[in-house]
Structure 1
């Protein structure tokens, strides 16, 4: 006898090409060689993976006295769902029927031997995707196919065959009644079958097919398993061919019904009509109701805000600790290589080699710090106290506020955060502002570009649902996130210095922070209220954040500002506190002179001595022109930036007098550009005009100071005079000094060097004539407007029928006012006539 092939060799040595003639010849030969055998020997069972049917026709044919059985649960369906992918050989062996005991050939042989049933398995066609197999069998004339089916079913009930991968479910078998369609399409089995009704006559139209009723379908398909439902095609449906849906309780029963009943011809006696009706079956993927998804899609007004909240919460959980870490690293400077002592040593050594060991110009600042030692000590003392209020250092630009606080008062303080408001305020657009704010505190990662994208999503969702989703965030909320994260980092830094062995370790965090003001970090807010006229949202948020830091004892806050009206902004954030304030003024003449001389000598002190053995002379010792410094400093004043500029010009070889005159000329040009000729630029955003600025320049050139209220009485400042003065103070053309009770009392030049610059401008006849002419023109317009008003009112009074005695006083008042204005106009006209002569002669 020929050895049978094994399952795992299916497809390797397939006998698919073996024809029926060859099979018959082999059978005859075997009978002749074994005439005494009790059972005729058959050709070895043909195990072939015919996923597309015999000869890839899609069908299995059966001859006379030949039938087809379908066995299910031979292969695991769930594993075979990935049949399209390469499977490991070991897995193929583990699920093979020989290994699992579900070999259909063996089942047929055992039934034939044990139940005395004359059947012989001739061919096995596995259906791995459906987890079953077709088995062709032959039987003698004394046995019918229905009898074979009954005996086989009873045998599988009496002796169930269960695979190892499904011990609770045995295999079952049924005789194939139709003409099974064996296909290898990418279709997965499903518990729902679609039954289409086709005509039994070849080429007949689909309309000739008879649509079976639910009772008939139940009769044909119920033997294959429990039916959940039978869904008929709607009567008014125009879809052809007609069809019905059969819902089985499990996928295995639907597989059995599909493979056994596909192609079955319903005869006229069974209700199939005269031509008969063919049943064509295919799997139908049942669309499961997705209640949750449908509810989500149908309620965007509820779901979108919830999704936004979940996203925001997830982002907060994931990114907030990372951002806090980076802010802490920015404040403590743990990852800044510049603070490493070895790096500083190498840098200092290299600097000495390259620059010859010369000191920086910062040595010249020692004279200034000696003069301001009291201010430095005062700031250091305040930082040791518990008072929860702001420390404010106010002074004009160039007065050395930042150097005083950061480089001197906080020189030994490691835990400090310097926040510069200037780049934040000057940033254009919300994304740039957020980036600048985040960069100033080390807040990263920051997704500022997401703000515009989320804004568009929010706008689209609002247009669709009618409500705000909350995806987008305003600049206010973004800045709040940055400051809140910074607050958390500052609090952690302060508490990191706390030890378990401290005497007050039993105190809570808040009590400990209040008891140890020296352990708190220091926040320095520089350039506060820089360009405050362009919008205050940034400054309001910073002030509110600083107030929280101070009142919760998280950090000390020091404001550095040029604006004299800082209290107005800070009082909104902290209305119930008195601020600690230091006002920096210009240096005294003695300190200014020492500053310049020290600046000149700084580069020469470390030079090697002369080769001839003579003593090294400093510039302050051998220069003969330094005696001019007293006069020059009187002109220049004590502004730190101006003094440094003077010292650098003297270093280049200029005499002090020439250097000062150059600075004065440069300041005069700056005044013309910024306050006179540029007064009407920038789209009219400035709150003063050229005539008002020139009037102050001309008056301050004659006097070093003006009375505040007297200036307001000038005709050119009649309307909006105080706002004009405040705007010019903000622009630093003038400075307003407050007297008793904090009221403004004196007006001075914005910088000391501006006073000689004002004089230089008034000495220019053409410029003075041109601007005076503009002032008189403006004043003439004002007086002419007054005359028009008086004339109109007099005209109105003259129209009265009888002149009441009560109008006499008003008429006299209007006439006197009209006469006064007319006198002024005539005076202005004479002045303008003289000025025209100057403008016509001079260049």
Structure 2
């Protein structure tokens, strides 16, 4: 039999419906006036129709005239089940959706559910229908002047024969039940359908056998209970029926509510779910006990739902399986090529990136190792580490500008599972911002970071009301540890799947296969964790992140879950990791500046010049001054290219069509001209001018950086520092380093440490090193030499020291500081001398008097030396003052 699918939207629930009965056999209860579709039958006494009798549903009660010979039609009702989804709770969104689409139900009911009038044995007349969205069904009323059982059978057989189904309930078959009681359709929010219904007997209690026979047709039952002792003497007896299905309970309540069985009227209501009733009662009566239980339920919910979600999203971030970002670059590049072809044609379009795309800088993606042989060794070391099973961590560090991140990025291009963590984006941020960024870098979602800020407030409020702390307060460390635990679970899942995949391939090989076949098995692909900016701001806010990350790394390395690569420019990172990961030896890759020959080769490659073509002497001198620092070399070449392209752009667009010039001005596009062609067409004089200008700009910028960061000459910074903690080094200490490094390529660490300005304190030197202004070289595990933080800084040091006015000002500050220290020393010597010489020699023995004279002589010599230093400093101050004296 073909099955007809029916979509039945809902109608808003009406108020109370009337009870129904046959006019011949029982009294008749007429519907409210707004539900009548036909006038009162003529057999009903008009005076009787005016009398209202209160019923269970609040309906209008009428009666039939027993003496009348006219046969009046019966008002009957049928309940159609499985029309809508049953309402599960007060906030069930399906209920609102079904209510919205209930307006067209009346047209569908009369056409699709009710059989034609010709199929009935007697006269059939449709009255109306009311939807009970909460109970998932439809109540249909009709008039029938024959045997009511024939009408019920006709409707039931019609519904079963057509196989009607509702798409709202995912295709469940619609069922029809005759209504024998007084149905009560209501929309009370407190009454939610459940599998258990309560029975109130108005009259003697009914036996279990009778209840079973009445309720069994609606579905399988779990239990039937009759409590004859409930209530007082005049209170109605009670019972309950437990169904297996909620649909059975709703059909039974609608069809049998108010039915008189053996002289007892049965009133039916839903019993609230045990958990919901228990929780509400517990929260009302026992708040101290309910709060821990509620927290336990929330923890269980998190464990069952949120924790798997977070592990899934972290796994997705590492594997990049559902990410669309990798396709964005291809789409944008295709659009750029299409725009170029539209404006310039295919002759001026290249599939490669144009040299005018400075933001993308296609040439930056070339292989650095072809020019820097030193980096090739480090690349091989890192690649070997990534191919082995994770047993320890790797530290890639070097001075600022050596680009350790580029080295790591190149080595992990072929790795399928990579997780990047940028510590610089987390340090010195507000707690909620830091937590959001930390979770976002891991891809951990959802995270309820608001609990960190609101947990303490909730703890205080609940403790004030209940007298006990619920422990809702959560710290940043707790949230971060949770994210790291989820990351461990994600790594474990990835490694487990890789191991299973490799084992399956091994099982496919025959046991007699030779070793070469087994050697072709793929290795397990472990995740790679890249932690960038490690220890770059060890004294900043949220610096506890460094310790938490190292503890986490120690855990995943011990469990062989992932490779870990730290990227840092802090020279003390190795010592920090050595203490944190004490049970493992951290492998280290230390990047240094390239040699002069490698730097020149790199310049030739980037400029596209043959090795036989000589470079201007100014360019070679600039490369020598830069000293092989990769970022400075890159900046120099970029400035040179920009200068050369600016000269070409001034003369290169006059012969282009007008639409091409419009595209250049609006879209920033241009013909695909290679930089090699620009450099090759430039004269030696153009190269020399571009080099001098570019190198001078870099030196001036370096001078500004030194004066602001090292010598604290930024006025805004000076004003803001008045309310802040003092700096870690003084201006004169930095100036002394500038003076020394402008004369010597490197200086002794110990000699500088015990200078009069440092007095043996290495904290200022280490702070200056962390700022990147100097670089400390080690020998036999201890600091030995000091160099400029960047080779270019040495040129800037020379220029600062060669400025007579500026050098005189800094010299005055230096001599004043030293003179102040010397005066304090002289004052201490004089006080001691006065104390000794003021004592009477008569109270001392001849031997003691001799020793005192020795001490007096020693103090006199020290006073003389200090006085000579002060005199020299005073002379130096007079000399320097003449250099900055205003001529009037």
TM-score by length of 2: 0.60
Alignment of 1:348-747 (within 5 A): 353=350, 360-363=363-366, 365-386=368-389, 388-407=391-410, 409-426=411-428, 428-465=429-466, 467-498=468-499, 499=501, 500-503=503-506, 518-534=524-540, 535-601=542-608, 618=609, 626-651=616-641, 652-653=643-644, 654-676=689-711, 677-678=713-714, 682=721, 683-684=724-725, 686-718=727-759, 721-740=761-780, 742-747=781-786
Whose Rg is larger? 1
d(CA) in 1 for partners of 2:50, 2:328: 80
Q: 2:879 aligns with which of 823, 834, 839?
A: 834
Aligned-partner SS, 2:884: helix
Q: Between 465-474 and 392-401, report the one with greater CA deviation.
A: 465-474
Cα displacement (A) at 1:297: 5.2
d(CA) in 2 for partners of 1:451, 1:642: 43
Q: Between 671-680 and 700-709, report the one with greater CA deviation.
A: 671-680
Q: Between 557-566 and 571-580, report the one with greater CA deviation.
A: 571-580
Aligned-partner SS, 1:737: strand
Aligned-partner SS, 1:443: coil
Aligned-partner SS, 2:588: strand
Tell me, yes or no, if the aligned pair for 1:734 and 1:748 is still in contact at 8 Å: yes
d(CA) in 1 for partners of 2:833, 2:282: 79
d(CA) in 1 for partners of 2:575, 2:138: 83
Tell me, yes or no, if the aligned pair for 2:393 and 2:557 is still in contact at 8 Å: yes
**Quick check: 1:767 aligned with 2:806?**
yes
Cα displacement (A) at 1:587: 0.7
d(CA) in 2 for partners of 1:406, 1:837: 56
Q: 1:10 aligns with which of 30, 40, 58?
A: 30
1:748-778 deviation digits (Å, cap 9, x = unpaired): 1100011111010001111111111111111
1:76-98 deviation digits (Å, cap 9, x = unpaired): xxxxxxxxx9889957789xxx9
The CA RMSD measured in Å over matched residues stands at 5.0
- Matched positions, count: 619
Gaps of 5+ in 1: 24-45, 59-74, 76-84, 101-126, 132-152, 168-224, 231-245, 256-289, 507-514, 602-617
Tell me, yes or no, if the aligned pair for 1:458 and 1:471 is still in contact at 8 Å: yes
Tell me, yes or no, if the aligned pair for 2:748 and 2:785 is still in contact at 8 Å: yes
Aligned-partner SS, 2:366: helix
d(CA) in 2 for partners of 1:374, 1:648: 27
Tell me, yes or no, if the aligned pair for 1:383 and 1:556 is still in contact at 8 Å: yes
d(CA) in 2 for partners of 1:315, 1:739: 54
1:492-549 deviation digits (Å, cap 9, x = unpaired): 222222324344899xxxxxxxx99752122121111121121421111111111112
Aligned-partner SS, 2:751: helix
1:221-243 deviation digits (Å, cap 9, x = unpaired): xxxx999669xxxxxxxxxxxxx
Tell me, yes or no, if the aligned pair for 1:525 and 1:557 is still in contact at 8 Å: yes
d(CA) in 2 for partners of 1:387, 1:659: 45
Cα displacement (A) at 1:292: 7.7
Q: Between 465-474 and 773-782, report the one with greater CA deviation.
A: 465-474
Aligned-partner SS, 1:684: coil
Question: What residue number does 1:189 align with?
Answer: none
Tell me, yes or no, if the aligned pair for 1:708 and 1:746 is still in contact at 8 Å: yes
Question: What residue number does 2:864 align with?
Answer: 819
Gaps of 5+ in 2: 1-22, 61-76, 78-129, 150-180, 186-202, 217-227, 241-257, 259-276, 341-348, 356-361, 510-520, 645-688
Q: 2:827 aligns with which of 788, 791, 800?
A: 788
1:599-623 deviation digits (Å, cap 9, x = unpaired): 112xxxxxxxxxxxxxxxx58777x
Cα displacement (A) at 1:625: 5.2
Q: Judging changes above 3 Å, is the alpha-carbon distance between structure 1 residues 747 and 463 closer, same or farther for their aligned structure 2 residues?
A: farther
Tell me, yes or no, if the aligned pair for 1:457 and 1:471 is still in contact at 8 Å: yes
Aligned-partner SS, 1:419: strand
TM-score by length of 1: 0.63
Cα displacement (A) at 1:591: 0.8
Tell me, yes or no, if the aligned pair for 2:369 and 2:376 is still in contact at 8 Å: no
Alignment of 1:272-311 (within 5 A): 296=283, 300-311=287-298
Tell me, yes or no, if the aligned pair for 2:395 and 2:567 is still in contact at 8 Å: yes
d(CA) in 2 for partners of 1:560, 1:675: 25
Cα displacement (A) at 1:52: 6.0
Alignment of 1:44-123 (within 5 A): 46=48, 50-51=52-53
Aligned-partner SS, 1:577: coil
Q: Judging changes above 3 Å, is the alpha-carbon distance between structure 1 residues 641 and 291 closer, same or farther for their aligned structure 2 residues?
A: closer
Tell me, yes or no, if the aligned pair for 1:389 and 1:577 is still in contact at 8 Å: yes
Cα displacement (A) at 1:703: 0.9
d(CA) in 1 for partners of 2:308, 2:800: 59
Aligned-partner SS, 1:560: strand
Question: What residue number does 2:797 align with?
Answer: 758
**Quick check: 1:316 aligned with 2:303?**
yes
1:644-663 deviation digits (Å, cap 9, x = unpaired): 11112222244434432332
Q: Judging changes above 3 Å, is the alpha-carbon distance between structure 1 residues 251 and 306 closer, same or farther for their aligned structure 2 residues?
A: closer
Q: Judging changes above 3 Å, is the alpha-carbon distance between structure 1 residues 543 and 377 closer, same or farther for their aligned structure 2 residues?
A: same
d(CA) in 1 for partners of 2:767, 2:872: 31
Tell me, yes or no, if the aligned pair for 1:384 and 1:518 is still in contact at 8 Å: no
d(CA) in 2 for partners of 1:334, 1:226: 65
Q: Between 555-564 and 535-544, report the one with greater CA deviation.
A: 535-544
Question: What residue number does 1:197 align with?
Answer: none
Aligned-partner SS, 1:497: helix
Tell me, yes or no, if the aligned pair for 1:93 and 1:99 is still in contact at 8 Å: no
Q: Judging changes above 3 Å, is the alpha-carbon distance between structure 1 residues 784 and 455 closer, same or farther for their aligned structure 2 residues?
A: same
Q: Between 456-465 and 828-837, report the one with greater CA deviation.
A: 456-465
Q: Judging changes above 3 Å, is the alpha-carbon distance between structure 1 residues 341 and 355 closer, same or farther for their aligned structure 2 residues?
A: closer
Cα displacement (A) at 1:702: 1.1
Aligned-partner SS, 1:773: helix
Cα displacement (A) at 1:402: 1.3
Cα displacement (A) at 1:296: 4.8
d(CA) in 1 for partners of 2:508, 2:863: 83
